[in-house]
Amino acid sequence: MKEHITLDQLEWEGKSKTIFDQIMEELPPMYRAAVKKKFEVWCNQKQESTITEQHIGRAIEKYAPANIKEKLMLIYKKHSQGV
């Protein structure tokens, strides 16, 4: 049986935690819990406990609504190592 991964158990590489935190600050408060839950579900589906900047960038591209994707990508690009 796979172990359930929670957000507080994640290891963050590079500036991925900074990017994640700033994205969460940009979201309307009513969406923050849903995004955190979705991220945790993704981690468990993929059994990923180490999060990279690229994981964050791909998540924005795939899941962010069109009306805020550009704003979130600016945060990503500001902090990303560009790898």
In a domain, 2, yes or no: no
Q: How many CA atoms lie within 13 A of 21 on its CB side?
A: 7
In a domain, 42, yes or no: yes
In a domain, 55, yes or no: yes
pLDDT tens sequence across 37-54: 999 999 999 999 999 999
In a domain, 1, yes or no: no
**Are 63 and 23 contacting, i.e. CB atoms less than 8 angstroms apart?**
no
Please give the Cα distance from 40 to 61 (Å, whole number). Answer: 17
CA 29 to chain centre: 16
> In total, how many domains does the chain have?
1
pLDDT tens sequence across 6-33: 999 999 999 999 999 999 999 889 989 9
